[in-house]
Amino acid sequence: MAAGAEEARILDAWHANAQAWERAVREGRIESRRLATDQAILDAVLAHSPRTAIDVGCGEGWLARALAEKGVQVLGVDAVPALVETARAKGGDFRILSYEAIASGALDQRADVVVCNFSLLGGASVDALLVAAPRLLEPGGALIVQTLHPAMAGEPYADGWREGSWVGCGEGFGQAAPWYFRTLGSWVAAFGAAGMDLVQLVEPLHPDTGRPASVIFVAVARQAQPRSPG
């Protein structure tokens, strides 16, 4: 299946580029992250005053460490062993887990916030992860997803796979991964299909352009609908 092949290529690319990625993050190579989106995701998570958080697709773990510095008890999970090893070496609680494993219930833990920072890159794999998200949330907890702003991500404005690139990430990168573009409407629909409601949408502005550098979705598990008696 074509879609399955794309999902596999995402992981292949991260396996192949884990070291270059760790360096890009450590050296602050990605301008939009340095100028806007790193602080924005930190602010979005901390606004919920979480006691606990799960960082899904944590990579080399910068966000988990930044949250831990603020007193949050964080578990970071990622499918790429080299990234998890790097994260562990820098300190903190990290686990190797694929999204498929999380979707099938392998992560038996709940947190006040589940955060996915630019880590939802796939199609069906992400849909399955989202469906599992409510089971990772404490009552009243929030799923917080930062991703490319769909309206700022070029043509065509339609769901589908796009070729990725490491442009702007610095040196040392090899093959790039494809990623699955979703329109804003499709993101809202994906949360709905997973039994969640979008309660907040944050658009961090790039200081140079004044345009959104990303979008942050905050979703909560949908309350059971009250039924009329009888």
Residue numbers at the binding site for its own copies (CB under 8 A): 149, 151-152, 155-158, 183-185, 188-189, 192, 197-203, 205, 210-212, 215, 223-226
Closer residue to its own copies (CB): 1 or 158: 158
The C-alpha atoms of residue 230 and residue 228 are separated, in whole angstroms, by 7
Least CB distance from residue 58 to its own copies, whole Å? 25
Rg (CA), the chain: 17
Q: How far is CA 136 from CA 30, 110, 163, in A?
A: 30, 4, 31
DSSP structural state of residue 202:
E
Least CB distance from residue 200 to its own copies, whole Å? 6
Least CB distance from residue 39 to its own copies, whole Å? 16
The C-alpha atoms of residue 214 and residue 90 are separated, in whole angstroms, by 27
Least CB distance from residue 173 to its own copies, whole Å? 29
- Please state the separation of Cα 192 from the chain's center in Å: 17
Least CB distance from residue 161 to its own copies, whole Å? 17
> How many other C-beta atoms are found inside a 10 Å radius of the C-beta of residue 205?
14
The C-alpha atoms of residue 218 and residue 123 are separated, in whole angstroms, by 19
Closer residue to its own copies (CB): 11 or 188: 188
Here the tokens at position 136 are 């990772």
Closer residue to its own copies (CB): 90 or 149: 149
